[in-house]
């Protein structure tokens, strides 16, 4: 019962508050502001109660409820180490974004719609984490897509509608490919289909079907990889992220795109089993596409002048690090990928919140406009710098520990070029990442003399200190702290994922 309560509570409560305190018909600005404050005083407790329910569930959960839909397929819930880890990451980021949004969304129209879909997508993602079978995961994976799309459409202008359509088309098309892989797994399995670390399929199950098995699994990886932005289906990410409000961008990059990673991990590591894919063309193709995605995303981010779009291309690259680790098909690759997932969720969530604070407080969108911004927003830019250090992979941040494990996983899992090429790609991408993030920090704290001379007098006014709201700074500091803790204590997580 606690499973259903944890999923349904944020959905029902969030939608109820949004509908009951809707201000669409209210024309008086002061009354609209009062309604918004009333909603916020309820949204906060809803988020915190959801956190408490999830913690209680993770501490006490045993077997979850199940409902048989058709023969050998039904809705079934349960929590293992991977599900608990993903729930924790999702709840931390959603909680920080929730409180951040109370300030950021106060200038936006239709805040109640944003929060309604915010809590709906939260419930869907929690259900994805609690899923105990592929078919259960797939149902809520699709719900997560449908419930997050309206956050991309929030502005309701031509650009946001186009980005929302692209996001929906890519995600649904990818999910259909994933469904094909799920159907194949169910058709060849002869026993229990609940998730088991190491997989439940046996070589005997695939007798005479080896070729179609590999093709089905590869299509499943590519299909679910669409949500994670794998090349060549990465196009929706740089379109959707810059258009959506900054809180939505933080969620899309930090955890919603990771739903694709969850699905791939469940398919490969908990159903098929890495042993059946090791040293096959599927592993090589998967690794090649991950490396292409890493370099493509880093290169596009390096040349992108718009800050949020630069961060969106960075997401394409950084999530591909996770895919590269998973493609090693080893415990160290899985562990390194999960450490990268944690550090990236915290770091990139923080960077998008920093970008949102800059846009909210200064109305500046492009990197070239940020000269001296560190003097105006010192705390925001300090958090930006800390998150950037993690993404680049500077110790002791989580990004360093993750990339260290990914490099060693690649060296120990392949022969020939596939043993060393991933390490070269990781090093090249790290340099590109430094090239597109560190200039933002340097420009922010050290205004170039040429630009100072161009705007004497006026420049002093532009870089005067701006008050940074507490509800902006606190979530950024928490996320930076998570990225640091992933570096200091992340190795302990690896012991939970051996097979």
Tens digits of per-residue pLDDT, 90-131?
Answer: 999 999 999 999 999 888 778 889 999 999 999 999 999 999
CA dihedral 479, 482, 483, 486 (to 10 degrees): -160
215 is a domain residue = no
364 is a domain residue = yes
**Rounded-to-integer distance, Cα 150 and Cα 147, Å:** 6
**Rounded-to-integer distance, Cα 106 and Cα 472, Å:** 13
Lowest-pLDDT range of 332-336, 416-420, 431-435: 416-420
User: If pLDDT is split at 50, 70 and 90, which confidence band does 481 have?
Assistant: very high
**Rounded-to-integer distance, Cα 37 and Cα 31, Å:** 10
Regarding predicted confidence, which is higher, 68 or 243?
243
CA distances from 287 to 250, 294, 423 (A): 27, 11, 12
CA distances from 155 to 38, 94, 438 (A): 23, 21, 31
490 is a domain residue = yes
Q: Which two tokens stand for residue 128?
A: 């994805």
The answer to whether residue 64 scores a pLDDT higher than 80 is: no
Using a cut of 0.75, tell me whether the model's pTM lies above it.
yes
Check if the beta carbon of residue 423 is closer than 8 Å to that of residue 393: no
Domain ranges, residue 433: 343-499
DSSP secondary structure of 214-269: HHHHHHHHHHHHHHHT-TTS-THHHHHHHHS-HHHHHHIIIIITHHHHHHHHHHII
**Percent helix, strand, coil in the chain (nearest 5)?**
80, 5, 20
330 is a domain residue = no
**Rounded-to-integer distance, Cα 365 and Cα 360, Å:** 10
User: If pLDDT is split at 50, 70 and 90, which confidence band does 461 have?
Assistant: very low
Check if the beta carbon of residue 422 is closer than 8 Å to that of residue 284: no
DSSP 448: -
**Rounded-to-integer distance, Cα 1 and Cα 460, Å:** 60
Query: Helices 281-303 and 417-445 meet at what angle, rounded to 10?
Result: 20
Q: Give pLDDT, residue 87.
A: 94
**Rounded-to-integer distance, Cα 98 and Cα 149, Å:** 17
| Structural domain total, the chain | 1
User: If pLDDT is split at 50, 70 and 90, which confidence band does 76 have?
Assistant: confident
Per-residue pLDDT tens over the stretch 341-376: 999 999 999 999 999 999 999 989 888 888 889 888
What's the mean per-residue pLDDT of the chain? 88
Q: Give pLDDT, residue 228.
A: 87
Mean pLDDT to the nearest integer, 294-322:
92
**CA angle at 197 for the pair 191 and 202, rounded to the nearest 5°:** 40
The answer to whether residue 190 scores a pLDDT higher than 60 is: yes
235 is a domain residue = no
DSSP 414: -
Burial of 88 (0-12, 13-18, 19+ CB in 10 A): middle
305 is a domain residue = no
Check if the beta carbon of residue 434 is closer than 8 Å to that of residue 389: no
Q: Minimal CA–CA distance to 347: which of 83, 96, 5? A: 96
Per-residue pLDDT tens over the stretch 237-280: 888 877 888 999 999 988 999 999 999 999 999 999 999 999 89
Kindly calculate the radius of gyration of the chain based on its CA atoms and give it in whole angstroms: 22
Distance of CA 495 to the CA centre of its chain: 23
Q: Minimal CA–CA distance to 321: which of 297, 351, 349? A: 297
Q: Minimal CA–CA distance to 338: which of 235, 137, 197? A: 197
Q: Give pLDDT, residue 317.
A: 93
Regarding predicted confidence, which is higher, 247 or 205?
247
Per-residue pLDDT tens over the stretch 390-417: 999 999 999 999 999 898 888 887 667 7
Q: How far apart are the first and last CA of the chain?
A: 31
Q: Give pLDDT, residue 239.
A: 81
DSSP secondary structure of 366-378: BGGG-TTHHHHSH
**Rounded-to-integer distance, Cα 202 and Cα 190, Å:** 9
User: If pLDDT is split at 50, 70 and 90, which confidence band does 498 have?
Assistant: low
379 is a domain residue = yes
Mean pLDDT to the nearest integer, 50-57:
95
Q: Give pLDDT, residue 162.
A: 86
427 is a domain residue = yes
User: If pLDDT is split at 50, 70 and 90, which confidence band does 465 have?
Assistant: confident
User: If pLDDT is split at 50, 70 and 90, which confidence band does 457 have?
Assistant: very low
């Amino acid at each position: 019962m606690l499973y259903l309560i944890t999923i349904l509570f944020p959905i029902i409560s969030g939608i109820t508050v949004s509908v009951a305190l809707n201000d669409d018909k209210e024309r008086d600005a002061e009354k609209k502001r009062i309604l918004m404050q009333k909603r916020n005083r309820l949204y906060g407790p809803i988020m915190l109660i959801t956190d408490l329910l999830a913690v209680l569930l993770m501490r006490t959960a045993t077997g979850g409820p199940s409902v048989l839909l058709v023969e050998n397929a039904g809705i079934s819930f349960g929590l293992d180490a991977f599900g608990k880890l993903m729930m924790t990451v999702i709840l931390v980021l959603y909680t920080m974004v929730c409180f951040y949004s109370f300030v950021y969304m106060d200038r936006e129209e239709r805040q109640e719609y944003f929060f309604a879909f915010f809590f709906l997508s939260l419930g869907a993602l929690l259900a994805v984490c609690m899923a105990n079978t592929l078919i259960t995961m797939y149902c809520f994976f699709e719900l997560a897509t449908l419930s997050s799309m309206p956050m991309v459409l929030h502005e309701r202008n031509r650009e946001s509608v186009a980005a929302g359509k692209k996001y929906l088309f890519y995600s649904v098309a990818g999910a259909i490919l994933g469904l094909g892989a799920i159907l194949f797994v169910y058709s060849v399995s002869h026993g229990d289909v609940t998730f088991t670390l190491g997989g439940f399929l046996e070589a005997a199950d695939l007798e005479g079907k080896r070729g179609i098995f590999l093709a089905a699994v590869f299509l499943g990886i590519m299909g679910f990889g669409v949500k994670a932005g794998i090349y060549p289906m990465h196009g929706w990410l740089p379109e959707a992220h810059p258009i959506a409000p900054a809180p939505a961008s933080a969620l899309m990059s930090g955890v919603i795109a990771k739903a694709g990673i969850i699905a791939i991990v469940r398919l490969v590591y908990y159903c098929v089993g890495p042993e059946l894919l090791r040293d096959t063309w599927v592993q090589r193709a998967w690794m090649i596409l991950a490396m292409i995605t890493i370099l493509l995303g880093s290169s596009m981010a390096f040349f992108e002048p718009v800050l949020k779009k630069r961060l969106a291309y960075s997401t394409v690259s950084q999530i591909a690090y996770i895919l590269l680790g998973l493609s090693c098909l080893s415990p160290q690759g899985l562990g390194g990928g999960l450490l990268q997932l944690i550090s990236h969720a915290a770091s990139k969530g923080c960077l998008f919140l920093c970008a949102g604070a800059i846009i909210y407080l200064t109305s500046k969108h492009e990197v070239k406009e940020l000269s001296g911004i560190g003097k105006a927003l010192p705390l925001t830019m300090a958090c930006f710098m800390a998150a950037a250090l993690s993404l680049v992979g500077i110790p002791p941040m989580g990004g360093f520990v993750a990339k260290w494990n990914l490099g060693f996983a690649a060296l120990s899992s392949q022969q020939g070029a596939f043993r060393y090429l991933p390490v070269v790609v990781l090093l090249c991408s790290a340099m590109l990442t430094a090239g597109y993030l560190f200039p933002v920090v340097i420009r922010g704290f050290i205004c170039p003399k040429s630009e100072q001379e161009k705007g004497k007098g006026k420049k002093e006014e532009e870089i005067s200190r701006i008050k940074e709201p507490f509800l902006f700074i606190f979530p950024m500091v928490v996320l930076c702290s998570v990225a640091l803790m992933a570096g200091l204590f992340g190795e302990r997580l690896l012991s939970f994922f051996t097979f």
